[in-house]
Structure 1
Amino acid sequence: MGKPYDFKEVEAQVLKLWENKNIYQKVKDKNKRGKPFYFLQGPPYTSGKLHIAHAWNNSMKDLAMRYKRMKGFDVWDRAGYDMHGLPTARKVMALHKLKMKEDIEKFGVANFIKECIKFSSEKAELMNKDLWRLGVWMDYKNAYLPIKNEFIEAEWFLVKKAEEQGRLYEGEKTMTWCPNCATAMAKHECDYQEIEDDSIFMKFKVKAKEDEYLIIWTTTPWTIVFNLAIMVNPDIDYVKVEVGKEKLIVAKALAGVFIQGVANKKFKILEEFKGSKLEGLEYEHPWNNKLPFYKELKKKHPKVHTVVLSTEYVDVSSGTGLVHCAPGCGPEDYEVGYKNNIPPFNNLDEHGVFPKEAGKFAGLEARKDDKKFTEELKKNGVLIAVTKVKHDYPHCERCSTAVVFRKTKQWFFKVEDLKEEMIKANQEIYWVPKAGQNAFHSWLDNLRDNSITKQRYWGTPVPIWRCNKCKAYEVIGSADELKKRAGEVPDNLHKPWIDKVTFKCKCGGVMKRIPDIMDVWIDAGSASWSCLYYPQRTDLFKRFFPADFILEAKEQVRGWFNLLMVASMIALKKPSFKAVYMHGMLTDVEGQKMSKSLGNIISPYELIDKHGADTLRYYMGETKPGVDMNFSWEEAKLRFKNLQVLWNVHNYLIDLTTTYKLKPEKIDTRKIGLEEKYILSRLYSIMKEVEERQEKYLLNELTPLIGDLFLDLSRDYIQFVRDKKDKQLVVNALFECLINIVKILAPNLPFITEAIYQNLKNEYGLKEESVHLCSWPAHNEKMINPSVEEEVRVAKEAISLILAKREEKGIGVRWPLARAEIFIDNPNVLKKTEELVKKQTNFKKLLVNKGKTKVEIDTTLTPSLEQEGFAREIIRRIQALRKKAGLKRNDRVRVVIETEFELEKQYFEELKEKVGASKLEFTKKSDAKSEFESKAEVRKKKFRFVIIK
C-alpha cells in the first residue's frame, strides 16, 4: 500500500503546487469569458489574528466559489477587509499607551493615523496568508481596503447621493453612546447581554393634590435626572388606591402585584378609570428645587412633567403601568417626547459624566453611580422599593461597556420611508435558511434613520464642508470634485490632511470640513460597489452588479446585510445582493459562547495543526444554516478519520493497478455485476444530488453526502469485490468512482482532493494540471438505479444482523458455517442479493423468510468447514506478517508454516496465491529463521509463521 495520510505533508505540498504552478490564476484565465458570478466578501476586521469563526465562514465561501469556477463562471472574488473604527484605534492606542482622545492629540493625529494604517495593513497581510493556508482562494493582491482613497471616494459617492435625494440631514437625537469609546453607536453595533440591575419603584407627587402620587418603575435610576414625562396607555384600566394616608395611581392589573407583592402593604381601591383620563395631569419632580434646568424646560415646553399617552410603549407585563419617560435617554422615549414637543434633554458629557449644571450630581457617572441616585431618592422620601431584575441591556460590541443614552448632534440618513421598498426587495432575495428572510423582514420593519457620523479620528472623513460665516454646507462626492472646488487634494484623504482643505463659500466665507468621521457601517455598506471600483470605473459594475452571493453569520441580519441594503437603496435604488447563506454562531461543546474568561476559545491554528485545514472545512461545513455550532474535538477527529478512509481508497486503487499491471479503462456496462451496478448508481445519484444542492446553496449538505459515498466505496464495494477475479472491472469501477468523488469534493476539501488527483494523474496520465482546473463532472442518468440501491441497502442490513448473531455466538466471520436463516419484512428484495449476503457472512446456505426480524444460525463446524476456516485464519496471519515486513502485493516470498495441524491439499494452491508465496511449506518442525516471523494459537492448534524474502 502507499503512504498513509499525512495531512501536514499533503497540505504543504499542495500549497507549494498551487503557488509554483500559479493554479489560481490559471483557473481565473480559463474562465474569463464565462458567465459572470459576483461573490461579495463580507469584510473581516483587521484588528487581530484569524479566529475560528472566520475560518468556518471563509471556508464555506470558498466552497461556493470553487464550485462556480468548476462550472465555468468568471468569478469575481476580490478579498476585502474592515480597517477603520475603534478596534484598530484601540489596538494602536494600547501599543502607544494612549488612553483618551486627548492623549491622541498629544501624540499627534497625523502620527496616530499613520500608525493605524500601518497596523491594519500588516494585519491584512497576515490574514491573507492565513486564509490562503486554509485553502481559501480570493484575489488577495487587489483586496479592497477602506484605507485606500478609491474606497473613501466610494463612500463620499454614497453621501453625495443621499444629499441629492434629500436623505442627508443633521439633527439632535438621543443616541446610544459608549462612555468608554466616547462615541455614538448605531443600533446594529449594540450587543445585548443579560445583566442584573437594581430596579426602583418611586412616586411622583401629583401637582396641587395632597398625598396623591403617580408610581413608576425603572431599571435606570440615573435617568430620573432627565425625567420629563410619565407615559400611560390610554386603553388600559388604571386605579387610584388608598395605601395608608397616601393615594397611589397604578394600572389595575398590577395594583395587587405591586402594592402587596413589592411594597408589602394593604390597599383600597378608590376610583377606576382608563389611562386616557390621566392625559395632561401635571406632577412635581422631587428634584425641582435642586436642578434649575427644569423650570426653563417647562417654560419652553408646557408638556414637561405631565402625563402623556402611548399605546406602543406601555403595557401591564411588568412594573406599574406608568412608564418613566426621559426623551434624552432612549429611542422610544425620544419618539414619545417628539410627538408631544418635549425635548430630548440630556447633558451628559462624552464619558457619561454629569456636568456641573447637574448640581449635587455633578461628576457622577451614568449607570456606574446608580446606587447614589437611588440613595438620593430615598433621602427625598420618594423611593418605595428596590428589587433585583435580570434583563437584556445593550453593550458596546467592541469593548463590552454597558452603554448610556445621550443627546448629540449627528448627521443621519433618512431611511424610514424606504422600509416598504426594502421589505419588497427582500422578498426577491434567496435566503438559506428561509428563516433568514423573515428575520431580515422583521429588522427592516423596525428600521430607524441611521446616524452616519462618529466623533473620532480613525475613519473615513465625512465629506461635508460648512461655511464659517453663513453656516451653509456642501457635500463633496469625489476627489475630483474637491479639486475643482479647492484647487488641490492631499495624497491621503484621511484626517488630519483632509482637514486642511478649504474653499470659498458663495457668501465669501470659508468652507471647512466638519471634524467628524464616518461610522464604519458606511465602509461595510459601500463594499458592494467599491469592490467593483465603482464609481471610478463602470465596466465591472455593469458586468457584475449586484452580488450573486454573500455569506455571513446570522448576527449580520442587523449588521452587514442591513448595511448593504440601506446603502445600495440610497445610492443605487436597488438591493446589492441576490442570495444569502446565513450560518449560526460558534459555541463550545456545552453550547456556551466562546470567551477568554471561560477559557473555551478554539484557535483555527490549533485545529489545523492537529488535524489539517481539510478537517476544519469538512467538520465545520456540515453545520445547518442559521444553527449555532457546538464545537467538539471528538467530532472533528471523526471527520479526520473519514479523510484517512478516502486516502486509503486511492492507495488501494494504485496498489491494485500496480500489482496486476492494469490501467483504468472505460466501463463496459455489459460486464458489470451487482456490486458495480450498486456503487455506480450510488455515485451518479450522489453526483446529481450534490449538483442540485450546490445550485440551491445548501452548502452544509454537500460533504455529508459525498462522505457517505466514499465510505460506501471503502466499506461496501471494496469489501464486496476483494476476491473478484475480474480485476480490470474492479479497477474501472473504482477509478470511475474515485475520480468523480475527487472532483465533486474538490470545492469542499481542496487539499486532499488535489493530492489524490496528482497521484492519479502521475499514475494514469490525467490531462488537467490540477483538479481545480477540471470542469464539474456530469452524472450518468442511465446508470442511476434506485432498485439496485434498495436491494443492496436491504442486503447490508441483513449482513449486519447475521454478523451480529455470529458475534453473539462467538464464531468469527472467517469460519464458514453451513446455514443461516433470516426473517425479514421484505424477503423478495433480499432474495435478489442472496449470493452477496452468503459471501459476506460466510454461510454456505441462506434461508430467507417473511416475519418479525430475527436471525438463526447453525453453528456446527464440520471437518470440511473447519479446514476452510483454518485456511482463512492462516491467510490472515501471514498477510499481517507481510504488512509488517513492508511487502508489496506482488512481492513473492518463501513461507514456512510450522504446525502439528494438517491442512488438506485442496487448499494449498489458494493459500499459496493469497499469501503471495513463491514456495509454501507446511512442516511439523523447521529450522527456518527470519526477522519476520510470528506465533499464534488458533482453536488450540499452535502455529509458527516465517517469511523469508
Structure 2
Amino acid sequence: MYNPVDSKADFPKQEEKILKFWEENETFKKSVSQREGAEEYVFYDGPPFATGLPHFGHFIPSTIKDIIPRYQTMKGKKVERRFGWDCHGLPVENLIEKELGINSKHEIEAYGVANFNDKCRASVLKYTSEWRKTITRMGRWVDFDNDYKTMNPDFMESIWWVAKSLWDKGMIYEGKYILPYCPRCATVLSTHELAQGYKEKQDPAITIRFKVTKAPAAFKDPEMENGSTYFLAWTTTPWTLPSNEGLCMGPDIEYVKIKDKESGDFYILAESRLSTYYKNETDYEVVYKKSGKDFIGAKYEPLFPYFKDLAVKEDGSDGAFRMFNADYVSTEDGTGIVHIAPAFGEEDSKVFKGTGIPSVEPMDAECKFTKEVTDYAGRFVKDCDKDIMDRLKKEGKLVKRDQILHQYPHCWRCGSPLIYRGIGSWFVKVADEHERLLKANSQIKWQPSHIKEGRFGKWLAGARDWAISRNRYWGNPIPIWKCPDCNDTLCVGSRKELEELSGVYPEDLHKQFVDKITIPCKKCGGTMKRIPEVFDCWFESGSMPYAQQHYPFENKEYFESHFPADFISEGLDQTRGWFYTLTVLASNLFDKPAFKNCIVNGIVLASDGRKMSKSLRNYTDPNEAINKLSADAIRLFLMHSAVVKADEIRYSDEGVRDVIKSIILPLWNSYSFFVQYANIDGVTCTGHEFDSKLPENPLDRWILSVAQKMVKDVSSALDDYDLSAAIDPMLSFIDQINNWYIRRNRRRFWKSGSDADKLEAYGALYSALKTFALVAAPFIPFLSEELWQNLKTSEDKESVHLIDYPVYNEKFRDEDLEFKMASVQKAV
C-alpha cells in the first residue's frame, strides 16, 4: 500500500517536512560523500554581502546554482558546494557610518580606524543565519559550515600573493587618471563599477559666452579683439566653470560667425546648431564660415578671476584660455564648442596633455571647493551650480539656461552622484591585455550565448586599466610599502615575507595592524611605510578561486587540479563585475579563464515593472511568498522564464499561482490518481514490470516512449546549460500524462479484478511518474522527493537525490508510435 495522497495538498507544509527529512538523514552530505573518488565537478559561488536580507534577486542565481550541481551529482560526479561571504568594502562601511551618525572620512579617522574596523567586523555577518534559513528553505543545497569569508587572514594572504604575482609581472603601477569619484565615500570607483549605479537625473544645461581677446593665427578679425565677439560654449556641469582653462572645437566642423541683430554682438558657434538658438534666420546675419581648425589659438577672457595667471606660461608663451581642437567634439547638442576643465574630464585631460599648462583642481577629498575659489570655498561643488549660474547671468555671460534629463552615474554603494576628477590610484594593466582576455573568453561557454561576443566580449575588447585602490578603511590593505625619502616601492606577497622584511609576523592583516609595520629601505636606508589604500573589494571576489583554498600556501596540488571551475552563475551586471574580475586575474595569472561554463540571469522587477522596493511595498516578502506558495512553485516560475536568458522578469504572486494551477496541481493529480486506484486494487509496482517485454497496449508503450524522450531532451538541455529549454519537455510530459494518458485510460483502471492489461497500465503510469520524479529532481526537489518517498521500492535508495540521473533507454523509445499519437491528438 502507498501512503494516501491528499488531493488538496499543502505544498509549503509538505516542503517543511521534507527539509526535516533531509536534515535528519544528512541527505546533502550523503549526496556528496557517496561520490567520493568519482570525477569532480567544480563549482564556484560568488560571495554576497550579509549586510542585508536575501530577496527575489538572490533567488534566481541561487536556484540556478542548485539545479546544475544537483544534476551533475545525479550524473555521478562529486560536486562540493561551498558558500562564501563578501565581508569588506563600502557597503559595510556605509552601514556603520549610519549607525555611528558620521558622514565623512575625517570623522572616521577622528573616531579611530581600529574602532571603526572593529565595528565593521562585528556587523559584517549580521544576517548570516537569516540567509542560511532562507536559502535552505528555497531548497538549495550548499555548504554553509565550510564557508569562506573574504576577511579571514588566510583569504587575505592569498590576495597578497595575487597582487605580488601581478607586481612581479609588471602589471601593477601607480598613475593618475580622470576617474569617477564618490564625494560621499571619498574614494575612486573602477570604470566597471559604473554600470551598477546609473540613475536618471535632471541637470542644468547652460550656454555661456566667452569674450574673445585675440584672433587665431590662421586669419585676422579685428572684431575678435575689440570686445564684441564671443565664443558660445555649452556645459551640463556649471560647477566646473571656475576651473575652465580652455575651449574646444571639432577640427572639421563648420563654424559661423554671426551678428546678433538685437544686441549687435558677434557670436561664433557650429553652423548646424544655429536653429537651436534662433527661431528665425532674420534674427542674425552670417559674417563668415570657417572650420574648427582655423580657430586654433584664438584667446578669450577667463570667466572667473581665480586662475587668470595661467593665461601666460613662465616662458612668456600662450598658456590657458585659448581655443583647442579635438575629434570628440560633436554637434549633437550644445553649440559645437565645449568648455575644458582638464582636471574634471577624461577627454579634456587628453587635450591638455603635453601643453605644459597645469590642470587646476580646486576641490578637496570630499569634493568641496578649496580656498583658491574664494567665493565658494568649503561648499560641495554641485551645490554651487545655481549660484554660479546666477552670477554668470548677472555678469551678462549666461546666454541660455535649460534642463537636461539624462543617465548620470551614481555611487552603487551610497547613491551619491559621482564626480569625474584627476585621481592618483594604483592600477592593474588591462588595456594592453585585450588579446589575452579575449583568448580566455573564447574558452568559456556562455548561456545565453550572445553574452560571449556581445556584452562581455565587447566589454573585454575595450576594457581600460583597472583602478584597484580605494582610499578607505575596512578592506584588504594593498601590500605595497613605499619609502617617503627615495620613493622606492616593494610589494609583499605573504605574512612570512613581511616577517623576513620587517621582523613582524601579523596574525591579522587589516589596516590597523599592518599600517604599524615598517620596512628598512635597502635603497636609501630610510623607513618604508605601507601605502594607505585598501583593495577594491572586486579584487577580492575576483581572487576567490585561489583565496578560498589559501593558495599557494596550502592546497596547492588540489587547487591546480581543480582550476578552472566547471560552472558559475550570477546576474547580468556581473559581466562588468565578478565575471570580469575573475577573467582579468585568471588570464594574467594562469593564461586561462577562471570558469568554463556560465549561466547569466537577468533581473527581477516588481509586477508593476519597477524595481522591487521596500519603501514602495510593491512585492511580497520573499519568506512569506515561500510559506504561502511553496519553494518549488517559485523555482519553476523563475526558471521557466526569460530571466535565465539574461532578460528581465516581473515577479508576481499571481504568476506563481499560475504555475501551481497549470503545472504542479496537474502533476499532483496524476500522482494522486495512481496512488488512489493502486491502493483500491492492492497493486504495488516493482519497477521491473517491463524488464522482459514491452506492454501490449499502445498507450502504455507511448507513455514509456515519451518518458524517454523527456529524459533525452532534458539531459541534452542541461548539458547545454539551457534551463528554460530543460523545463519545456517536463511541462509537456505533465500535460501528456495528465490530459491524455490518464484520461484515455480511466476505464482500464476502473475494471474489476487484476487482469494483465490493468496491471500493465499501473506499471506504465508508475514508471512514468517515477521517471519524472528523477528527471525533475534538480528543479523541484521537494515535490520530486515527495513522489519518490511514496513510490520507491525496497531496492531504492532513501532519497531521490541519491539516485543516478536517468539514462536515455532506446529500448522504450518508439518514435513511429509517438508520431501516430501526435497525429491523433492533433485530429482530436
The answer to whether the superposition gives a TM-score over 0.5 is: yes
In the alignment, which residue of structure 1 is the partner of 2:473? 457
2:806 corresponding residue in structure 1:
777
Letter in 1 for 2:505: V
1:479-529: per-residue Cα shift (whole Å, max 9, x none)? 111111122222211120111112211122112112211111111211232
User: What corresponds to 2:450 in structure 1?
Assistant: 435
Of the three residues 211, 236, 246, the one matched with 2:265 is 246
In structure 2, the residue matched to 1:260 is 279
Aligned to 1:230: 247
What is the rounded CA distance, in whole Å, between the counterparts of 1:674 and 1:73 in structure 2? 37
Is 1:65 matched up with 2:66?
no
Deviation at 1:167, TM superposition (A): 1.8
Q: Is the 8 A contact 1:344 1:407 kept in 2?
A: no
Q: Are residues 1:589 and 2:607 paired?
A: yes
Q: State how far apart, in whole Å, the 2-side matches of 1:184 and 1:613 are.
A: 41
Q: Select 1:493's aligned residue among 490, 502, 509.
A: 509
Amino acid at match of 1:633: D
SS in 2 for 1:357: coil
Structure 1 residue 295: Cα displacement? 5.0
Matched residues, percent identical? 33
User: Counterparts of 2:53 and 2:312 in 1: how far apart (Å)?
Assistant: 53
213-222 vs 90-99, which moves further: 90-99
Shift of 1:535: 2.1
The CA deviation at 1:301 is: 9.4
Q: Does 1:407 align with 2:394?
A: no
Tell me, yes or no, if the aligned pair for 1:327 and 1:342 is still in contact at 8 Å.
Answer: no
Partner of 1:480: 496
> Residue 622 of structure 2 corresponds to which residue in structure 1?
604
Q: Deviations over 1:567-592 (max 9, x none)?
A: 22333333212222111111122322
> Where does residue 672 of structure 1 map in the other structure?
696
Residue 737 of structure 2 is aligned to residue 717 of structure 1: no
Q: Secondary structure, in 3 states, of the residue corresponding to 2:41?
A: strand
CA contact (8 A) 2:695 2:701 kept: no
1:302 CA drift (Å) = 5.1
The 4+ residue runs of structure 1 with deviation greater than 4 A are 295-303, 339-344
Answer whether contact 1:158 1:570 (CA < 8 A) is retained.
no
Question: Which residue in the other structure is 1:202 paired with?
Answer: 208
Aligned residue pairs, count: 793
Q: CA deviation at 1:462?
A: 1.1
Residue-by-residue CA offset, 1:91-116 (whole Å, 9 max, x unaligned): 22333333333333344322322221
User: Who is 2:822 aligned against?
Assistant: 793
Aligned to 1:376: 391
Instruction: Flag the 1:186–1:601 CA change in 2: closer, same or farther, 3 A.
Output: farther
1:334 and 1:80, CA in 2 relative to 1: closer, same or farther beyond 3 A?
A: farther
How far is 1:753 from its partner?
1.0
Opposite residue 812 of structure 2, the aligned amino acid is M
Secondary structure at the counterpart of residue 752 of structure 1: helix
CA offsets, 1:789-844, max 9 Å, x none?
A: 34333433444xxxxxxxxxxxxxxxxxxxxxxxxxxxxxxxxxxxxxxxxxxxxx
Query: In the superposition, relative to structure 1, how do residues 634 and 769 fare at CA in structure 2: closer, same or farther (>3 Å)?
Result: same
- 1:54-133 aligned at under 5 Å gives the runs 54-133=58-137
Indicate whether 1:645 and 2:666 are aligned. yes
Partner of 2:754: none
Contact 2:239-2:388 within 8 A present in 1 as well: yes
The equivalent position to 2:770 in structure 1, one of 739, 750, 755, is 739
The gaps in structure 1 that reach 5 residues or longer are: 800-949
- C-alpha distance in 2, partners of 1:38/1:344? 51
- Match for 2:525 among 508, 514, 522? 508
Please tell me whether the aligned partners of residues 347 and 407 of structure 1 are also in contact (alpha carbons under 8 angstroms).
no
Equivalent in the alignment of 2:439: 424
The residue correspondences of 1:176-325 to structure 2 (distance < 5 A) are 176-190=180-194, 191-208=197-214, 209=224, 210=226, 211-244=228-261, 245-260=264-279, 266-287=283-304, 289-291=305-307, 294-295=310-311, 304-311=320-327, 313-325=328-340
Hey, what's the Cα distance between the residues in 2 that align with 1:658 and 1:247? 98
Q: What's the CA shift for 1:408?
A: 2.5
AA in 2 matched with 1:632: S
Paired letter, 1:18? W
Residue ranges of structure 2 left out of the alignment (5+ in a row): 215-223, 752-756
Tell whether the 8 Å contact from 2:436 to 2:591 is kept in structure 1 after alignment: no
Tell me, in whole angstroms, the C-alpha distance in 1 between the residues paired with 2:567 and 2:381.
Answer: 44
Query: Are 1:743 and 1:777, in contact at CA under 8 Å, matched by a contact in 2?
Result: yes
Q: Which amino acid aligns with 1:512?
A: K
Q: TM-score, normalised by structure 1?
A: 0.80
Distance 1:444 1:771, change over 3 A: same
Matching residue's letter, 1:717: Y
1:2 match? 5
Letter of the 1:697 counterpart: Y
Corresponding residue number in structure 1 for 2:217: none
Query: Contact 1:280–1:303 (CA<8 Å) still a contact in 2?
Result: no
- Is the Cα–Cα contact under 8 Å of residues 314 and 323 in structure 1 kept in the other structure? yes
2:675 maps to what in 1?
654
- Asked whether the equivalents of residues 328 and 343 of structure 1 are also in contact (C-alpha less than 8 Å), the reply is no
CA separation in 1, counterparts of 2:657 and 2:640? 14
Aligned mate of 1:149, from 148, 153, 163: 153
Structure 1 counterpart SS, 2:381:
coil
| Residue 766 of structure 1, CA deviation | 4.1
2:594 to 561, 565, 576: 576
Higher relative contact order (CA 8 A, sep 6+): 2
Structure 2: which amino acid aligns with 1:639? Answer: V
Assess if the C-alpha contact under 8 Å between 1:45 and 1:81 holds in 2.
yes
The correspondence of residues 502-581 of structure 1 with structure 2, limited to 5 A, is 502-506=518-522, 507-536=524-553, 537-581=555-599
Question: 1:710 aligns to what SS in structure 2?
Answer: helix
Classify 1:524/1:680 alpha carbon distance in 2 versus 1 (closer, same or farther; 3 Å): same
Residue 299 of structure 1: how far off its partner (Å): 7.2
Partners in 1 of 2:809 and 2:317 — Cα distance? 79
Whole-angstrom CA distance in 1 between matches of 2:714 and 2:357: 61
* Mean Cα deviation higher: 669-678 or 491-500: 669-678
Alpha-carbon deviation of 1:53? 0.5
CA distance in 2, matches of 1:149, 1:628: 39
Alpha-carbon distance between aligned partners in 1 of 2:170 and 2:445, rounded to the nearest angstrom: 31
Counterpart code for 1:637 = R
Compared with structure 1, are the counterparts of its residues 417 and 300 closer, same or farther at alpha carbon in structure 2 (3 Å cutoff)? farther
* CA distance 1:100–1:257, change in 2 (3 Å): closer
Do the aligned residues in 2 keep the contact of 1:486 with 1:503 (CA within 8 Å)? yes
Please give the alpha-carbon distance, in whole angstroms, between the structure 1 residues aligned to 2:101 and 2:357.
43
| Residues 237, 66 of structure 1: alpha-carbon distance in 2 compared, 3 angstrom cutoff | same
With 418-427 and 77-86 compared, the bigger mean Cα shift is at: 418-427
Partner in structure 2 of residue 767 of structure 1:
796
* AA in 2 matched with 1:195: K
Match of 2:730 among 690, 706, 721: 706
Worse-matched range after superposition: 438-447 or 613-622:
438-447
Report the structure number with the largest CA radius of gyration.
Answer: 1
From the superposition, tell whether residues 645 and 377 of structure 1 become closer, same or farther in structure 2 (CA, over 3 Å): same
Cα contact 2:311–2:318 (8 A) shared by 1: no
Structure 1 pair 16–152 and aligned structure 2 pair: CA distance change class (3 A): same
Letter in 1 for 2:766: F
Separation in structure 1 between the aligned mates of residue 459 and residue 177 of structure 2, nearest angstrom: 21
Q: Letter of the aligned partner of 2:429 in structure 1? A: K
RMSD, aligned CA: 2.2
- Range moving further from structure 2, 651-660 or 502-511: 651-660
Q: Alpha-carbon deviations, 1:313-340, whole Å to 9, x = none?
A: 2222111111222221133333333365
* Aligned equivalents of 2:573, 2:601: Cα separation in 1: 9
After superposing the two structures, state which structure 1 stretch, 128-137 or 511-520, moved more.
Answer: 128-137
Once residues 805 and 427 of structure 2 are traced to their aligned partners in structure 1, the CA distance between those partners, rounded to angstroms, is 48
Q: 1:253-284 CA deviation, whole Å, 9 max, x = no partner?
A: 222233438xx982222222222222333332
Asked if structure 1 preserves the Cα contact closer than 8 Å seen for 2:259 and 2:265, the reply is yes
1:381-427 CA-partner distances (Å, limit 9, x unpaired): 21110012111110111122111123222111121111232123323
Q: Counterpart of 2:671 in 1: which secondary structure? A: helix
Moved more, 296-305 or 571-580: 296-305
